[in-house]
Amino acid sequence: MDHRGISSALYQLSYAPLSNVLIVATLSKKTIFSIVVYMIHEFGAKKMGEVLAFNELGIDTIDRGIDALTEAFGEEKISDMKERFRMHIDTIVAIATEADVIDTTHAKAEKTLTKLKAMRDLYVGDQWHNAVELSEWSGFFEGAAIVHYAVIRGVAQEINNEQLLMLAEEAINWHYSLLELFEGELEQEGTDKSQL
């Protein structure tokens, strides 16, 4: 098989319902090279777009509620949160680019971000100065981020993509820690407001 045959085979495999493929090139029964192709299908590409949107919304929410969030959690914590969201964005974009699904990922991210912003803005309303309202919204947000990254973890396990799996596991753990942070803030607020 010459290079045209290999290109044709790879093109056809891009539509196959496989998660990864071992390609072995032989000449006179001797292996010349072998490669494993990790394929991220449309489903995985779109799910990466959804978590990309969650990270973009995380940054946008911090930017809009910066004063209240900084007062409640401190400048360092909020800065660290923004940096982690940015790191996740960079990782998702790199993985989607490498898998040649970046257009699908970006298109889904754009649609999902529009939907998430509408939900957030409906919930928060004009309460951007209120850390309690922002923390309550964040409870919804963190829970949703966790379950979306769980889907990504399943995709990563199925296609055996270590980088995507590491991202998903790290993000799930981080979002659980943020959920606990917001939960603690809200519990303290309940205690403070209930004192006689």
Domains of the chain by range and CATH? 3-38 (no CATH), 42-194 (1.20.1260)
Neighbours of 158 (CB within 10 A): 12
Quote the distance between the C-alpha of residue 192 and its chain's center.
Answer: 35
Q: What is the DSSP string of 75-104?
A: HHHHHHHHHHHHHHHHHHHHHHHHTT-HHH
Say yes or no to pLDDT of 180 above 70. yes
Determine the average pLDDT of the residues in 173-194. Answer: 94
Q: What is the DSSP string of 5-71?
A: HHHHHHHHHTTSS-SEEEEEEEETTEEEEEEEEE---HHHHHHHHHHHHHHHHHHHHHHHTHHHHHH
Q: For the segment 64-103, what is each residue's pLDDT rounded down to a tens digit? A: 999 999 999 999 999 999 999 999 999 999 999 999 999 9
Q: What is the pLDDT of residue 18?
A: 38
In the block, residue with structure tokens 């754009």: 110
40: pLDDT confidence band, cut at 50, 70 and 90? Answer: confident
pTM of the predicted structure, to 2 decimals: 0.81
Phi then psi dihedrals of residue 16, to 5 deg: -80, 150
Q: Which amino acid is at 2?
A: D
CB 95 within 8 A of CB 161: yes
Q: Based on the number of CB atoms within 10 Å of its own CB, is 56 exposed (0-12), middle (13-18) or buried (19 or more)?
A: buried
